[in-house]
Structure 1
Amino acid sequence: MLDESILAMGCETLQYLFRDWFGEGIFAVDGHQWKVQRKTSSHIFTTKSLREEMAPVFVDHIEEGVRTLGKAADSGEVVNITQFFLNLTMNTFGQIAFGVDLS
């Protein structure tokens, strides 16, 4: 559950607190900077791009994850599901964003 005191801080306070992590990225800016970044990034996330470039990466990583969980189930291995999904997410992101296999 999200702490109510965080919500009460306001946008400017949160931007200040998270600036070291997010820098001047789309999640940490408003106004003109946000509009420029939104316009630039919107061309990356078109329906065609999602369908033709990103979806196959998602499918490949999910299928590999299913195989991994299946092997663990067959052998009785305990899986840290939080770590499993963190790895799945980061490996998928690394492949889509940078073309790098992080596994």
Structure 2
Amino acid sequence: MKHAISTYLYQCIQMVMVVTMAFMISTVSRSSSIAIALSIGIMFAGTSIVGFLSQYKWAKYYLFENTDLTQYLNGAPNIVGMSLSFSVKVIILYFVIFNVCTWLVFRKKDVTA
């Protein structure tokens, strides 16, 4: 039961990040349909891209490499040297960047149009 709850909570982090990214894309592009399509496409492609990028050292900073926190339940991260605390820090950094970009673009928009 504890493992199921942990898995569910770890997967919720990925959902929050995809929604935050969709919100940012929606604000920047003014199109919610483009935002939804891009976010879902990036999410599905992101898990495939992780396998290709895992051979590079910089891949540990890739968003979708870090949003899959279930890799730490098994004790074997995809890239050697990654830890749960590192992934949480990277996720928080992306979350802040997405929200700052959203806020800056939203403040400059003419919302009356």
- TM-score category (smaller protein): 0.3 to 0.5
* Higher RCO (C-alpha under 8 Å, 6+ residues apart): 2
Q: Which has the higher helix share?
A: 2
TM-score by length of 1: 0.39
Bigger radius of gyration: 1
